[in-house]
Amino acid sequence: MACKVIVVGAVEGHFVAVFDKLANLHAKNSFSLAIVVGDLFKSPADSSSEDDENISSLLNSEITVPLPVYFTLGKHALPPKVIQKLESSEYEVCQNLYFLGKRSTTKTEGLRIVALGGRLDTAITAGISKEKYLPFHTEEDAKALNGANSADILITTHWPTLIRSGSNVDLPIGTPQTEQCVADLCSTLKPRYHFSVSDEAFYEREPFFHLTEDGQPDPMSITRFLSLATFGNSSKQKWLYAFTIDPNATATATITPGTTASPFGVRKRKRQADDNQSFSRFSNGADHYRPTKSARPRRSQPTPQQCFFCLSNPNLATHLITSIATDTYLTISKGPLPTATTFPQLGFPAHVLIMPLTHAPTFSSVSEQEVRSATYKEMQRYRRALHSMLIDKTSSSLGAITWEISRADGIHFHWQFLPAPAELIQKGLVEAAFKVQAENEKYPTFKVKEIGAGTAERGDYFRVWIWYPEKGEAIGADAANGEHTSEDETGETRGREKSLVLSLPAGMRFDLQFGRRVMAKLLGLEVRTHWKDCPQTEKEEQQDAETFKAAFQKFDFSLEE
Ligand SMILES: *[C@@H]1O[C@H](CO)[C@@H](O)[C@H](O)[C@H]1NC(C)=O
Ligand SMILES: *[C@@H]1O[C@H](CO)[C@@H](O)[C@H](O)[C@H]1NC(C)=O
Ligand SMILES: *[C@@H]1O[C@H](CO)[C@@H](O)[C@H](O)[C@H]1NC(C)=O
Ligand SMILES: [Zn+2]
């Protein structure tokens, strides 16, 4: 069954009139939901006392919102009263009115909606933006949304660069502000609909198909770009647009007349939906489900909006993020095992998480093979880059271990990276520590083997790479004990490493802190075994992130472009 959706241009504070209008239309059409693509509220700077009173009425539920209405940020900040409400209710302004957030992925009524509100602020260079309610976003915010992989509906305040090329549709006004990062996001997500706003004009581009990597038309992915005028605009341009969309429809492989090629040209890589990533902030999977406060997803099953590792989570601790590449990112660990003084050569803990952007419990559950392999490659690239940083900063006195817990019922898989004295590793003490601890816990025996992205492994596993830099001739390192040379990102041999894998049979109790516990003991940091026992102030975390970034900068391939 298809969903009927009504899209509304900028409302600019006239929500009393607009909700009235929607109530009328809804009575005749019974829409599933409405989306406001421009500003719902007036700029706080231009608000009169009447606007203010109407906002209070809205917040007190004295104004009826006739159907579920979703909105994001447009060109102005949200009114302070609305922010205050959202601070306590997360995304619900009042019954039926939901804030999508500035940078978000939301699934409702079976539709995946991706929003990037506000305008690009190139003056903000420090990663993804922390402000949830100001109308600015960074390039990293746009990149972070690539992790959604696909979208039914994309909403952006600004237009994608080059959107009008190859189009014969007239536009009565000059082209509104465009952004390259919006074009990149549209190319990556290949949304079925992309909506934006254009004050005094309505614009509907010819539909366009995206191109595959080798420049061939991909008829399975067609985007319709539309831009709506503002409510009450003097040119009487269209500010409402209704359409029907079947979230379950499989794309048709025919290109209808009038469809053009993507104005953005060829994108590096095709990315598709992964049905196993359920981006269900509002949906519990039930049909025709209306979001209510009481029916939020259960805490025990985080969805990307709540997942601590999903960049689309608006409450993410963004100050911990230190690098964002194409499919993956780096963040320093909360409550790191080492302190800033554990490794004086470094001056920061260097306990780092290498994270995929895709929300999935394991590598194997990333169903799109291309995304999986690109993610694995990039995670390895980060790992090697981190090794290079250690060589550079510590004159090869530190090695590193990196572990992964792969469990089908995990939440968002990742690798934990931790430095350790090279000498301990070279003498085999780290390997022994893992093996002995596994034995003590009556776990199965570690096997020395390389398993790549682990997709051939049956069932859950714990794996750890143990790496140390090569100082001159390595002694005793040979293939017989499973050790092999490791290369840095330039392909140069910069050390030796081995990979140990512990299979986790179904039903076995496995301590998720196992890796950290082994390393805590080995490094004499038992008191810091649990991350919750190692709280840092936000200022300390920021300090560690900055020191890390400075050290890593030389090796951070995500900065090259
Ligand atoms: C989409 O498919 C699911 C599962 O088959 C079904 O429960 C749902 O009703 C369908 N949604 C629509 C809008 O048709
Ligand atoms: C505020 O609400 C009143 C009463 O509902 C309405 O008449 C008026 O038009 C509203 N003002 C704005 C700016 O929407
Ligand atoms: C989702 O995951 C399950 C279990 O891992 C698998 O059987 C199924 O094929 C996956 N579905 C898709 C669409 O990837
Ligand atoms: Zn996640």
Cα of 1 from ligand 1 centre, angstroms: 7
Nearest ligand 2 atom, CA 63 = 5
Residue 143 has pLDDT above 60, yes or no: yes
Residue 503 has pLDDT above 90, yes or no: yes
Q: Name the CA dihedral angle for 359, 179, 166, 189, rounded to a multiple of 10 degrees.
A: 0
As a whole number, mean pLDDT of residues 27-33 equals: 94
Ligand 2: which of 54, 64, 231 to mutate, judged by most atoms within 8 Å of the beta carbon?
54
As a whole number, mean pLDDT of residues 539-553 equals: 93
Lowest mean pLDDT among 51-55, 145-149, 264-268, 375-379: 264-268
Residues in CB range of 195: below 8 A, 6 or more apart: 7, 35, 37, 153, 154, 155, 156, 225, 226, 227, 228, 241
Ligand 1 contact, 456 CB (< 6 A): no
Cα of 60 from ligand 3 centre, angstroms: 44
User: Pocket residues for ligand 2 (CB within 6 Å)?
Assistant: 13-14, 16-17, 50-51, 54
Please report which ligand is nearest the Cα atom of 148. 4
Q: How many Å apart are CA 311 and CA 316, to the nearest integer?
A: 7
As a whole number, mean pLDDT of residues 87-94 equals: 87
Query: What proportions of the chain, in percent to the nearest 5, are helix, strand and coil?
Result: 25, 25, 50
Encoding tokens for residue 509? Answer: 């109790």
Q: How many Å apart are CA 446 and CA 157, to the nearest integer?
A: 52
Ligand 1: which of 248, 250, 278 to mutate, judged by most atoms within 8 Å of the beta carbon?
248
Convert the pLDDT of each residue in 355-402 to its tens digit. 998 888 999 988 778 888 989 999 999 999 999 999 999 988 999 999
Q: Which domains does the chain have, with CATH numbers?
A: 3-289 (3.60.21.10), 318-559 (no CATH)
Q: Are 110 and 2 in contact (CB under 8 A)?
A: no
Encoding tokens for residue 48? Answer: 């009169």
User: Pocket residues for ligand 3 (CB within 6 Å)?
Assistant: 275-276, 365, 367
Q: What is the mean pLDDT of the chain?
A: 85
Going from the C-alpha of 359 to that of each of 147, 198, 365, the distances in angstroms are 8, 33, 10
Model confidence band, residue 327 (pLDDT cutoffs 50, 70, 90): confident
Convert the pLDDT of each residue in 91-100 to its tens digit. 889 999 999 9
The neighbourhood of ligand 4, an ion, using CB within 5 A, equals 304, 307, 309-310, 359, 412
Protein residue with its CA nearest to atom 5 in ligand 3: 365
Q: How many Å apart are CA 356 and CA 200, to the nearest integer?
A: 41
Q: How many Å apart are CA 69 and CA 11, to the nearest integer?
A: 12
Nearest ligand 3 atom, CA 275 = 13
Q: Are 501 and 450 in contact (CB under 8 A)?
A: no
Convert the pLDDT of each residue in 63-73 to its tens digit. 999 999 999 99
- pLDDT at position 324 is 83
